[in-house]
Amino acid sequence: MTEKAKRRRKLSYEILGLFAVCFAAALVLFFFLIFFGIGVAEEYCWENGIPLDEEALYRLDGFVFSVSLAVSVIFFAVLFIVLFGERLAYIGTIIKGVDILRGGEMGYRLPLEGNNELTALAEAINYLSETEAAVKARERGLKEEKEALIRALSHDIRTPLTSIIAYTELLSAKENATAQEMSEYFSLVEKKAGQIKSITEILLDGGKRNVEHFENARLLIEQLVCEFEEALEESFTLKVDISACAAFAGSFDVQEMRRIFDNLISNVQKYAAHEKPVELTVENGERGLTVRQKNAVKKNAHQAQSYKMGLYSILRIAQNYGGGAEVRQSEDEFEIIITLSNL
Amino acid sequence: MFTSLDLLVVVSMGIIAATFLSLMLMFLLKNQKAKRVFFYIVVALGVYVSTIGFRIGITGFIEQVVLAVLAALMSVGAFVLERAAGGDGKKLRIARIIAAAALVLGIISALFI
């Protein structure tokens, strides 16, 4: 129990105290009026030469007493009703506040007056509305996170699917595909289908990761860089440098790393200018693993929503490794620096 | 049938009761708007009882007249201070105390001298 709660006065005691004060004031007024009334009457009679015999005095005393009593009773009633009404008006304030909260304005807080049960009630209502607002905000946050995850994963499914469709169309257009081309096709379909399956599993499992430990993670990086080169070398001039990435041990979710590189490939294919080389640098150091990708931007390139989704997807994956993704963009150039720290 | 004495007693008791009531409510109420209303009632009562005291005293009782004029001036001063206070709690408290003192002084000049 808080200090304030311990010192809390009971409303009934407050009302009793109020009654006592009003009664005491009325009593003082009553006696004051009796002495004052008799004094005024005697003064008036003396000044006007009116004799006061016993009967007249008796009648006068009775009259003064009755009037004093009546005035004191009215005085007590008015004083008590006004002061008591002020206490009760707080109940009206609380009811009004509850109506406002019920109307959906969860930011409203009831004013706290006094230190009794009504104050405790107002504090409790404020606490409940704060808690509900916090719960609703958390729910909204979780819902937004879930939707963002679904959007990102859906976007990432599109990249391997696009590869399968493109290669299928290419082979369908060819009259006589060789056995090697068919073998490469099946290999690609198998790899990309595996990627789609992994991403679908993440979607169904609510974002569960499959982290593996690599004694020499440089081999994984080399594989991914190789796939990056294979996807882009026909259309772009590439400058790839992984010399600053020494052999190192680390834990990775392979599908996540693949998604990073797929998104980089996808963005280069859509928005990079062909005239200038596309750069990719991978290095590891104290900050962890850093992947830098830079390219010139096509003139009049309209960056669709999928571009933002791709970068968002990269950022979310980097955050899983305690890192981040920094984008530096101008009209002519694009650069992204991805840092993975907790390996 | 009420005599003039009865009426005098009733009216003077009523003024005293009204004075007591408005003074208590002006100081005991927490609501600022209500406090302001009773402040104006106290000021009005102070001016009223001062005029009673002045009218009685003008027939030859100089102390009564002086007290009545002083009470009236204090009531007006309290009102001016309250208007000029602009929400300053200290100035409002001083205005209320001056108004209360003016009313008490006015009652003394009207009914006790």
What's A187's domain CATH number?
1.10.287
Residues 28-47 of B with CB under 8 A from A: 28-31, 34
Averaged pLDDT, A204-213: 76
A145 within some domain? no
Note whether A179 and A72 are same-domain residues: no
**Out of B5, B14, B111, whose CB is closest to A41?**
B5
B14/A71 Cβ within 8 A: yes
Tally Cβ neighbours within 10 Å of residue A312.
16
In tens, the pLDDT along A34-79 reads 998 888 888 888 888 888 788 888 888 898 999 999 999 999 999 9
Range of the domain at A222: 212-340
Could you give the strand order of the β-sheet that contains A278-285, starting from the edge strand earlier in sequence? A238-241, A278-285, A288-296, A333-340, A324-329
Q: What are phi and psi of A234, to 5 degrees?
A: -70, -30
A40/B21 Cβ within 8 A: no
Answer whether B106's CB lies under 8 Å from B16's CB.
no
Note whether A276 and A318 are same-domain residues: yes
A121 within some domain? no
E strand or H helix at A274, and its extent? Answer: none
Note whether A219 and A308 are same-domain residues: yes
Averaged pLDDT, B83-101: 92
In tens, the pLDDT along A137-152 reads 899 999 988 888 888 8
In tens, the pLDDT along A230-268 reads 889 988 999 999 999 988 888 988 888 998 998 999 889
Its sign, for the CA torsion B52, B54, B59, B61, is positive
Residue A207 DSSP label: S
**Out of B6, B9, B17, whose CB is closest to A75?**
B17
Residue A279 DSSP label: E
**What CATH number does the domain containing A239 carry?**
3.30.565.10
A138 within some domain? no
Note whether A245 and A321 are same-domain residues: yes
User: Nearest CA to A291 among A338, A251, A249?
Assistant: A338
A124 within some domain? no
Number of domains forming the structure of chain A: 3
Q: Which residues of A touch B (CB under 8 A)?
A: 25, 29, 32-33, 36-37, 40-41, 44-45, 50, 60, 63-64, 67-68, 71-72, 74-75, 78-79, 82-83, 86, 89, 113
Residue ranges of domains in chain B: 4-112
Note whether A108 and A177 are same-domain residues: no
Note whether A188 and A233 are same-domain residues: no
Q: Which of A115, A137, A169 is the last residue of a domain?
A: A115
Distances (CA, A) of A256 to A192, A207, A210: 13, 11, 9
